Structure formats: structure tokens, C-alpha cells
Structure 1
Amino acid sequence: MNPGVFHACGHDAHMAMLITVSEIIQRNKVLLKNNIALLFEEAEEIGSGTPPICDALTQFNIKSIWGIHVEPDVQAGLIALNEGPIMAGSADINITIRGAGGHSSRPDYCHNPINAVAAIVQSIRTLWVDNIPPDSRTSFAFTKISGGTELNIIPDEVYLGGNLRFFDRSKAELIIDKMKTRISCISREYECAVEFTDTLFESGGITCNDVELCKKVKSKMIDNGLKDTIISIPPLYSSESFSHFCKKYKCIYAFLGNGSDTNYPLHSSNFRVDLNQLPLGIKATLSYIEAENSILMK
């Protein structure tokens, strides 16, 4: 426990729904045709909890996996259940620009990496306009610049980092190649060297729902009186560690509406879970279990 620290993403609500589902499963276990594993993921915030779970699941014959998350951008009383992509993949870009530092009184003796970084940041903005198709469904932002120690010293190197979001890995790889080419050219222009490290595609793959499984679960939800709660939404550019499961199994990742006129976004210190919505999330989860077991639970 970290006093005063609040992740503000609704994970306590997710666990509450899963524990409630486990109690209902226990009451109906004689009806089940398949074993059911309940997955409680640690360290979701940094994306390191899912790979160990994937390793542990290799000993079982996994048919499919369901996940559900509260979402303030979806109106309360609704379940977002997309057929196909629902969340973007993520790639981290790490760049070190190395020049020749010195004293600020004689910048002409130096190759200032800060100047190169300033030019790179501006140039990548035009790269997006001039070279990236508008229908590429990608986004990129530089998110970190670090360099220098004193106001009268030109540093030897500067770190520059950013993050790319995408729905097509091949397009993402092409974009990163274009970025590297332009960054290398600008670095040479400023007589600096450049190093690219750890372009991490594994930090977050595309979260993509299995189409046939979605149709199957939607049908069961309709049977259970939830027809008016089902919607589709434009895929989100945020990323999710659940994507690790999507690479190996048929999956569904659903969003439980938590939105209202006064609600705040996830990770805001003002975000609050609407507890009145949890029964709907439980019913949707039970509909998935019923669909995969061809049963009706009580």
C-alpha cells in the first residue's frame, strides 16, 4: 500500500465484479462443461503482469478469454463490445543525440545536441503531414526530453523519447523507419551522432476482439435481456496489456459504461467508479460464460 497514491482506473471494481462472478459460478458449477480460470493480474499499470499469466496458461487448453474494464467515455448503462480492434498497439521510441559539449560562452566550439533535438521535434511534426497517410490510424507524440546539467554548459548528449500508437503493425514499422531516416539526417546536419534503443512493440500490442466470439456473446446477451445495452465505439488509441492474450487466444475486451455529465477521465484524481453499473458488468460476464458453455446460470 502506498498512502496517498491512487491509480484511478477502476481495478478495485473489476476485482469486485470477478469475485461476484466466481460466487455465481460456484453455485452453478454442476452445469459447466468447461473449467473456468479467474485471472487477477498484478502490475497492469506497467504492463508486466500479463506475460507470466500467459506462461502459466500454457499448461491448460484455453478456449477463450474475456476481460471487462470501466470506461467513462462510454455512457453509463451501456457495454461497448466491438467486433475486431478496440484498442491500439503501442511502441516506445528512445533516441540519444550525441554532440560535443563545452562552455556556453563559445557555442561555436561545440556541436550542441539541444539544437539538433529542437530541429528533430519540429521536423517530425511535418513528417506526419507530408508522409503519413491520413487514414493510417496512427498517432505519435514526443513525451520526454532530458539533457544538460548547468545553464552555462552545453551538454554532450540529449535524450529524446516518444510513443507511437497504431492499429496496423506493418504501418507502424514503416513510420518508425521514416522517423529514423529523418532523425539521422538532421543529426548529421548538426554534426551529431544518433542512437536508437529499444523500440518496444511488446509494451502494448493491438487489442483485437474475435469477431465470431463477439457475435456469439452478443447473441447470449440479447437472450439475457441486454440488447439495449450493447454498442460499438471507435477504437481507442490507448493500449492495454490484455493484448498479450489476444496474440494467443480468442478474446473479448469489453468496456462497461461509467460516463456521466460530471464524470472525470481514467487516471484523474477525481475519477470515481459508478458502483450502480457493476451489476451490468457482471451480467455481461456471465453471458460470456453461458455462451461458451451453452448453459443458463441462475
Structure 2
Amino acid sequence: MKTSSLVDQLKLKMGDMDTFSLAKKVDQYVIDIRRDLHMYPEVSLQEVRTIKVVTEELERLGIEFEIVSNGGIIGIIEGATSGKSIILRADLDALPMNEEETNLNQKKIVVSQIENAAHTCGHDGHTAMLLGAAKILVQNKEKLKGKVILAFEQGEENGAGIQAILTRLVEIGADGVWGIHLKSDLPSGKISVDSGPRMAAAFLFDVVIKGKSGHGSRPDLAISPLDCFADFYNNLRIMRLTSLDPFQTITYSIGSISAGTAANVIPDDLRFSGTARYLQYNQGVRAATEFNRLLEKICDLHNCTFEYITKPIAKDLLVNNDETCAAIADNAIKSTLGEEALIHYPAWMASEPFAYYQKYFPGVFAFVGIENVKKGVGAEHHNAHFDIDEDVLKLGVTATVQYTLDFLNSDKKIDFNAEERVVKDLFH
């Protein structure tokens, strides 16, 4: 079966529940919510209207919920019989940027109406798909064994909401977790639920190098933090070759630099910041250690000092799909959308707070492809031309519902050691 006809032809059966048909029935509902959220986006921890939209929908569906301050919304769907519980997670916030009215080759169906706020990452689609899945699950709760916990997270883009909502979720307790991210470079109709590392862990660095100011005509009487930074930057660029394991993935970059106010003045100091992303914790530790060693040595060489605004500290927080859960997801996709819908996709080097959920609950973070050349969809996430192929939303709903059913009904033993620290300790 061709991928292009996937969304119109594939079906699934789970007992007497035809999940794909149910997803098609709520498809316009999902699309309408996505378009509404897209028109009125709200940035991290300012999702007032977005929370109102979601809670009003939960009320209409008869789903009990609570609002977690600076965390998001948690809804509960109780099945007809007792059993396991699963968290289904989506994110609410938009980015602080403006978007273009066109995607890669045509006008977008819907564009943000709010200045300096835009859903250019796909969170509008994530929230809409979760509400669509919730509608199906609550309407069929008499066939549901166990409990479904809906988690709509605030502030995903800057990580501001995860601590509050995860703290509450750990209090409630669950046996597993599921999340979806629309993916701009995966073909529409394709889904990745591979086991193992899926998104990178990261550390941030923010540093001030301190020198001695002076007149541009006598650099010998000054101590230039610019010269010091240039030397450090060149050494940082070759750190991968000289100090890090070439068989372990890592990327790092400088994102901002600020120094000086005049062309003829050597500045007192220079500030720079950036990030490193890695798929193996020990590689992150080595990178952070070497970063600090280089900075100390090179500042000393240039007679400069430095101060950390944010010190690079590696954390073991990568999105990592549990092997048993990934196998359940794999079978769920095959039984609903066919084996041809599955695609193996390498880890995405961006980072995601979903990693925090997976410290406490085993689960899967799925990538759902939205790239459609004909529709002009395929611009990178956080790009002003980013757009969504809305035809895939029903696939995300289908996958979410089927994985939920299969997970709750599965008797497979999951070999998982939950984090013993309280949630707040992960942030120190």
C-alpha cells in the first residue's frame, strides 16, 4: 500500500473497536482545535486561553481534571475495570516568534493572529491529537481496562512547566507514559517508535570572560577578552577530535556572544553562551569536564579570569524509549496502520522535557511524519515557514488510542527502575 493513500485506506481492529475508523470520525474535531490553537498561540507559562480551550473540551467530554499551577492540566479517564494506568502527554505552548503566511510553496491554511507568538513546532497539533484520543477513549470507557491520565504540559519550550506537572503525576502514579512529536523531516504517514535513545540530553553554558579594557591604539596595554574567547572557541571546535569518544554522538555550539560598545575600545569583558547535546551520559560528562579544563587553561594563558553564569553540568536526561514499550507500540502501529507506516529514524539531537517523564515511567516517544512536498510542508521546526500536513493528525490519534489499549491490556513484564529522587532534585 502506498504511503500517499495510507490515511484513506488503512483500518485496525482491537476487539470490537475499529480504532482507525473512530479516529476518522473525530478528525474534523481535531483539525478544528488545532486551527483554533494555531490562530491564538501563547508562549511558555502564558497559556491562559489555551488552558481555557482544553479544560472546556474536557468538561464537554465529561472528563475530570485539575489545573496544576505553572504546570498544566491533568485529566483522568477511569475504565470500566481496574488495571494499569498510563500517562498520555501533550504540550501547550508556542514560540516567541512571528511566522510567515506561506510554507515552502504555498499559503498556509491558518496563521497566527498574535504578534510574536506562533506554533512553529507543532504543539497545537499535539494538543489537538490528545483531545481527539481522549474523546475516543472516554466514549468507549466501558471497554477500557485501567486508567488513562491526560497530561497537557505548559512551558515545554523553556522547560518551565515540567517540574510542577511531573511532581503531581508522580504523586498520582502510573505504569507507563506515551507522547508524540510531529516531525518535519519524516514523510507524512510514517511513524517512528524505535527503542533506545530518541532525543538528546543537553547542558547549557553561560560564561563571562574578564579582561582589562583599553584604547584600540594600544592593545598591548589592555587584556582582550575577545582574543581569549577566540582561542577558546578554536579549541572548543576541535574538542571532538582531541578529547571525546568518536563513537559516541555529541553536538555543541555557541548561540550568543556579546562584548564591547565602541569600535576603538577594547572591552573589559565578553559573555558567551551555548549548548551541548549528547546521546550517552558519559560523553556529556567528558564534554563538560573538558570544557571547564580548556576554559581555565586558556583564560590563564591570556591573563584573563572567568565567571560562570551557568556552569556546564551533564545530566542523564535523554529521551529513551523502553524496549518492551517500543515493541508494544510497534505492534500497535502494524495492527492499525500497517507495517509500511513504520519507519526507523535516527535520534533527534534536540532535547525534550519528556526525558523527565521517562525517569519515573517507562514509555514511548513517537515521531509522526508531516513532510509533504506537494503541500509545501517540510520546513524545520522553529522556522517561520513551518507548517503541518493535517492529514496525519488522525494517524497520531489512532496510534495514541491503540497504544493505550495495548499497553493497558498487556501482561508483558517491563524491566524498569524508576528514579528514586523526588522530582525537584532532578533540577539541581
TM-score by length of 1: 0.93
Distance (Å, rounded) in 2 between the aligned partners of 1:210 and 1:222: 18
Distance (Å, rounded) in 2 between the aligned partners of 1:204 and 1:67: 19
Unpaired runs of 5+ residues, structure 2, are 1-41, 43-113, 411-428
Q: Corresponding residue for 2:140? A: 28
Q: Corresponding residue for 1:230? A: 342
Name which of structure 1's ranges 184-193 and 258-267 shifts more when overlaid on structure 2: 258-267
Q: Describe the superposition over 1:41-90 as per-residue Cα deviations: whole angstroms up to 9, x where unpaired.
A: 11111111221111111221211110011101111111111111111111
Residue 284 (str. 1) matches residue 394 (str. 2): no
Residue 44 (str. 1) matches residue 156 (str. 2): yes
Residue 275 (str. 1) matches residue 394 (str. 2): no
AA aligned to 2:389 is D
Cα drift, residue 4 of structure 1:
4.7
Q: Corresponding residue for 1:65? A: 177
Distance (Å, rounded) in 1 between the aligned partners of 2:224 and 2:192: 50
AA aligned to 1:148 is G
Q: Corresponding residue for 1:55? A: 167
Cα drift, residue 157 of structure 1:
1.1
Q: Corresponding residue for 1:196? A: 308
Residue correspondences, number? 295
Name which of structure 1's ranges 201-210 and 258-267 shifts more when overlaid on structure 2: 201-210
Cα drift, residue 240 of structure 1:
0.9
Cα drift, residue 200 of structure 1:
5.5
Cα drift, residue 40 of structure 1:
0.8
AA aligned to 1:276 is D
Distance (Å, rounded) in 1 between the aligned partners of 2:283 and 2:226: 30
Residue 161 (str. 1) matches residue 305 (str. 2): no
Q: Corresponding residue for 2:220? A: 108
Distance (Å, rounded) in 1 between the aligned partners of 2:232 and 2:208: 12
Q: Corresponding residue for 1:119? A: 231
Cα drift, residue 98 of structure 1:
0.8
Q: Corresponding residue for 1:294? A: 409
User: In the alignment, is the contact (CA less than 8 A) between 2:207 and 2:273 conserved in 1?
Assistant: yes
AA aligned to 2:243 is N
AA aligned to 2:308 is F
User: In the alignment, is the contact (CA less than 8 A) between 2:244 and 2:286 conserved in 1?
Assistant: no
SS of the counterpart of 1:224? helix
Residue 77 (str. 1) matches residue 77 (str. 2): no
AA aligned to 1:22 is A
Distance (Å, rounded) in 1 between the aligned partners of 2:285 and 2:176: 29
User: In the alignment, is the contact (CA less than 8 A) between 2:372 and 2:389 conserved in 1?
Assistant: no
Cα drift, residue 204 of structure 1:
8.9
RMSD: 1.8
User: In the alignment, is the contact (CA less than 8 A) between 1:68 and 1:256 conserved in 2?
Assistant: yes
Distance (Å, rounded) in 2 between the aligned partners of 1:19 and 1:241: 20
User: In the alignment, is the contact (CA less than 8 A) between 1:91 and 1:204 conserved in 2?
Assistant: no
Q: Corresponding residue for 1:6? A: 118
Cα drift, residue 267 of structure 1:
1.4
Distance (Å, rounded) in 2 between the aligned partners of 1:214 and 1:15: 22
Equivalences for residues 113-262 of structure 1 within 5 A: 113-199=225-311, 205-261=317-373, 262=376
Give % identity.
Answer: 27
Cα drift, residue 5 of structure 1:
2.6
